[in-house]
Structure formats: structure tokens, C-alpha cells
Chain A
């Protein structure tokens, strides 16, 4: 079945460092891809998304490009802030009946001042 694999954490960076969180997926169809973020004590919220190959999703300085040839959707940010400390989840939606979302295991990011 469909699945998502993302790099294990935690990832610890200093403020203003460059961030990459790797994500690859396996899917039989043509999924939509997402990054969700979870701040402490809260539910998940959508960070960005892409619906087809070569689409780039972006929000709050974060970017990810839908790479069908490498089945990847890596999250990047050029300069992280302490407020970016959270858990990041890569996910796909199967775009079929149920529109179920399948999540990766999550990557915890710590940003130090």
C-alpha cells in the first residue's frame, strides 16, 4: 500500500541555519503531497501542499517540490527561527474514495537561539 518515509529526528539547528527534512513516498496512483506541522500540545496544521509533479508548495518561508522521478517531497527553509521548533509530518492523500491521508513518522526540529 501507499507509504511515506521521512528522515528521523530530532534535528537540532542554530537560528538562521538552512533546513532540509527529507521525505520519500510510495504510491500506486497520483497522490497529493503535504507537509503538516505540529506545535507542542496542538493538533496538526497544514504547512504546504503540492498536487502534481513539479509543483512547488510554499508557505512561511518553507518550500517543497513534488518530484515524481525520485518520489520525493523534501522540505526546505533557508533560515530557521526559534519559533519553527515543532514536529513536521510529510503526508500523502490518495485522491480516491475516502481521501485518506497517510503520514510519515514525523521529524522533530529544535532551533537554538
Chain B
């Protein structure tokens, strides 16, 4: 298994509170991604990073921010959690070697906003 650890694995939080999810990798891969998985939507990209302090938005970035201060860590913050952000969040990593570069996924974090 690729060395990707997500924490926490499960979290219940109240509406309006900030929440931070952590992704840690031991592979020294350049690219890191945060996706959310919802029924009927597959996985949708929230934010991604292409290096330390280099990040960009995905298709569903509203209400989320990210930070990457070290190669191995990529943090996802929900600034003020809402019920629509109840989802399963996956971190992924990849090391671009050109065409066909695959992504490796963490085990996921199940977040419930009540």
C-alpha cells in the first residue's frame, strides 16, 4: 500500500465549527489532492497541490481551504462546516511520470456535520 494516512478517520462536528482534516504521505510525491465522495457524484476534486505552498482549486472548492507547508502533509480545512459538507473525504497522491500516472488513495475520512 502507498504510504498515505488520513486523520481522523471519522468525525462528527456541529454546523458552523471549523474542521481540519490531515493527509500525510511517506512517498515524497509531488502532487496531492483532496476529493469528496457523494452518492451519484463519484469523486469530485476540492483542491490540489503541486508542491510546497503551491495549491489550486478544484471543481468544488467553495467553503474549503488547504495548506501544504511540507511535502508530506496536506491539510483540508472547512472554515465553517455546513450539513452539505457531510461526505467522505479522500486524499490522493501522485508523482507525475508523464502519461498514465496513477493516483494512490488514502482510506478516507467520514465527516458528519450535524
Give me the interface of A with B, judged by CB distance under 8 Å.
1, 4, 32, 34, 42-46, 49-52, 89, 93, 95, 97-106
Contacts and interface: CB of A to CB of B under 8 A. Distances in A.
B101 A32 contact: yes
Contacts of B96: 99
B74 interface: no
Nearest to A48: B102
Interface in B17-51: 31, 33, 35, 40-45, 48, 50
Given A43-B107, A43-B108, A44-B90, A99 B42 contact: no
Interface of B: 31, 33, 35, 40-45, 48, 50, 56, 58-59, 90, 92, 94, 96, 98-103, 105-108
Residue of A32, A44, A52, A93 with highest tally of chain B CB at under 10 A: A44
Contacts of A95: 98-99, 101
Contacts of A52: 99
Given A99-B31, A99-B96, A44 B42 contact: no
Given A45-B105, A51-B99, A105-B41, 13 more contacts: A32-B99, A43-B105, A43-B106, A50-B100, A93-B101, A93-B103, A99-B101, A100-B33, A100-B45, A103-B35, A103-B42, A105-B40, A106-B42
B100 A32 contact: yes
